[in-house]
Amino acid sequence: MNAVIDIAPAPMQQGCGDAPVLRERGQREVFCGLAGIVWLHRKIQDAFFLVVGSRTCAHLLQSAAGVMIFAEPRFATAIIDDRDLAGLADANAELDRVVTRLLERRPDIKMLFLVGSCPSEVIKLDLSRAAERLSRSFSPRVRILSYTGSGIDTTFTQGEDTCLAALVPELPASDERALMVVGAVADIVEDQFRRVFDGLGVGPVHFFPAHRAGEMPPVGPGTRFVLAQPFLADTARALELRGAKRLPAPFPFGAEGTTLWLQAIAREFQVEATKFVSVVGPRRERAARALARHRVLLEGRKVFFFPDSQLEVPLARFLAREMGMVPVEVGTPYLHRQLVAPELALLPAGTQLSEGQDLERQLDRCRAARPDIVVCGLGLANPLESEGLTTKWSIELVFTPVHGFDQAADLAELFTRPLARRMKLVA
Ligand code: SF4
């Protein structure tokens, strides 16, 4: 058995493994974790997300996810009003009433998430106890779980992490040796990865979360899991507590990132090098060819990341190594060193890393650097555009399928498009 996979990363000068990190704690400009409901409700198709929050939370969800007119909705907000906040009403009794009405009316719901928000935390409504209490009434027909999406605790991608971490203790136990891909990826990406795993002879493969509440993957000491998203630290810890082992790897963004991600899996499952090259090689070459035309526009340009999605480090690695861009500052809400260690090793030496935020100071650094493109949240994009900077909304990088070989050029295009538009405007 030959477990040596001979598609190696291109050499680059020493990376950022031990690079100093600028840690800032000041005013932040980020979305809250409720945003995760937008993609999670599409992924787990018989789940319902009940936000226990305010009108602001309801507005955020409606504007982020759009209003569903023809389908039965699969998320809603139970509004905490002034009487609840003043302690005049029994919020637990109200919540039980709302949940009972919802589940009686909607037999299609098999999993209900009670999602905490800033207001539910302010009045200290214990949603985990509420979930236990309600489970006693509705189990086994409906599983009821809770997690927080509160803006006090979470940035926008963390909502997925808190949701999946809440699901892990519910996963069935198994000793089966299997691969688990962790993180909600687009269905098209899941299908493509399944074809690659089939070609490599790696299996069984489970994706977490599954499409249905009753099909969540088993976990145990035989489980080898690989993260598809870098923001799943709590989920990874919870899986490790169940005996699963994480395969460290760069994330599957770009031709190189996807190759290295698959390589880590192939090594663990002892795929022969010749098979790996024959299955992965042509896909990688196709992706590299598709990326070449984007590199022409991006090469040598400076990119500045404000902390938002936690995708910043892998994306900076992709843009630096495959697109020839210069990451001036890579800001991230949290730097989970262990999870992104293989990414940091590939970042160009000297890249400024920052964790957390002190908004005004970071804006000053950004203005001074005059980057060609700024990756930031919605709230910063318009003001920066009005100052003549070109921006990319980080939320688009989460909502668009960008994983894997077939999406590599789409990922690059998310950066070339705003640059091309700016060039037209100034021409
Ligand atoms: S959870 Fe907090 S930050 Fe998010 S919409 Fe509700 S009130 Fe706003």
Kindly state if the Cβ of 53 falls inside 6 Å of ligand 1.
yes
Protein residue with least CA distance to atom 5, ligand 1: 57
Kindly state if the Cβ of 148 falls inside 6 Å of ligand 1.
no
16 in a labelled binding site = no
Per-residue pLDDT of the chain (427 residues; tens, 9 = 90+): 344 455 555 555 568 888 899 999 888 777 889 999 999 999 999 999 999 999 999 998 888 776 555 567 888 898 887 776 666 568 889 899 999 999 999 999 999 999 999 989 888 889 999 999 999 999 999 999 999 999 887 888 999 999 999 999 999 999 999 999 999 999 999 999 999 999 999 999 999 999 999 999 999 999 999 999 999 999 999 999 999 999 999 999 999 999 999 999 999 999 999 999 999 999 999 999 999 999 999 999 999 999 999 999 999 999 999 999 999 999 999 999 999 999 999 999 999 999 999 999 999 999 999 999 999 998 899 999 999 999 999 988 998 999 999 999 999 999 999 999 888 877 6
Q: Phi and psi for 143 in degrees, rounded to 5?
A: -95, 130
Does 250 sit behind a cis peptide bond, omega within 30 degrees of 0 on the bond before it?
no
Write down the pLDDT at residue 31. Answer: 81
Kindly state if the Cβ of 109 falls inside 6 Å of ligand 1.
no
Task: Please give the domain boundaries of the chain with CATH numbers for all domains.
Answer: 21-28+293-426 (3.40.50.1980), 33-154 (3.40.50.1980)
Instruction: Please choose from 118, 127, 155 the residue to mutate so as to test ligand 1's pocket, defined by most ligand atoms within 8 A of CB.
Output: 118
Task: Identify the H or E element spanning 326.
Answer: strand 326-332
Cβ atoms of 182 and 227 within 8 Å: the answer is yes
Protein residue with least CA distance to atom 3, ligand 1: 151
Instruction: Please choose from 34, 59, 79 the residue to mutate so as to test ligand 1's pocket, defined by most ligand atoms within 8 A of CB.
Output: 34
Other CB atoms within 10 A of residue 199 CB: 15
Q: Phi and psi for 87 in degrees, rounded to 5?
A: 75, 15
Q: Phi and psi for 221 in degrees, rounded to 5?
A: -65, -20
Cβ atoms of 173 and 146 within 8 Å: the answer is no
Write down the pLDDT at residue 303. Answer: 98
CA atoms of 399 and 166, how far apart (whole Å): 22
CA atoms of 172 and 249, how far apart (whole Å): 26
Instruction: Please choose from 57, 84, 122, 378 the residue to mutate so as to test ligand 1's pocket, defined by most ligand atoms within 8 A of CB.
Output: 57
Cβ-Cβ contacts under 8 Å for 75 (sequence gap 6 or more): 37, 41, 48, 49, 50, 51, 61, 65
163 in a labelled binding site = no
SS3 label, residue 11: coil
Write down the pLDDT at residue 4. Answer: 45
- In the chain the first and final C-alpha atoms are separated, in Å, by 58
Kindly state if the Cβ of 407 falls inside 6 Å of ligand 1.
no
Instruction: Please choose from 31, 49, 51, 54 the residue to mutate so as to test ligand 1's pocket, defined by most ligand atoms within 8 A of CB.
Output: 54
Write down the pLDDT at residue 123. Answer: 85
Kindly state if the Cβ of 117 falls inside 6 Å of ligand 1.
yes
366 in a labelled binding site = no
Cβ atoms of 271 and 191 within 8 Å: the answer is no
Write down the pLDDT at residue 155. Answer: 86
Write down the pLDDT at residue 203. Answer: 92
Kindly state if the Cβ of 57 falls inside 6 Å of ligand 1.
yes
The C-alpha angle 137, 139, 142, rounded to 5 degrees, equals 110
The tokens describing 297, both together, are 């526009």
Kindly state if the Cβ of 30 falls inside 6 Å of ligand 1.
no
Q: How far is the CA of 56 from the centre of ligand 1 (A)?
A: 6
Q: How far is the CA of 82 from the centre of ligand 1 (A)?
A: 16
Write down the pLDDT at residue 73. Answer: 82
Q: How far is the CA of 380 from the centre of ligand 1 (A)?
A: 18
Cβ atoms of 403 and 189 within 8 Å: the answer is yes
What dihedral angle (degrees, nearest 10) is formed by the CA atoms of 162, 119, 144, 96?
180
Kindly state if the Cβ of 52 falls inside 6 Å of ligand 1.
no
Cβ-Cβ contacts under 8 Å for 269 (sequence gap 6 or more): 179, 200, 201, 202, 224
Other CB atoms within 10 A of residue 185 CB: 23
31 HSE (CA, 13 A, CB side): 27
Cβ atoms of 157 and 398 within 8 Å: the answer is yes
Cβ-Cβ contacts under 8 Å for 225 (sequence gap 6 or more): 179, 180, 181, 182, 208, 236, 239, 244, 245, 246, 247
Cβ-Cβ contacts under 8 Å for 112 (sequence gap 6 or more): 47, 48, 50, 99, 102, 103, 134, 138, 142, 143, 144, 145
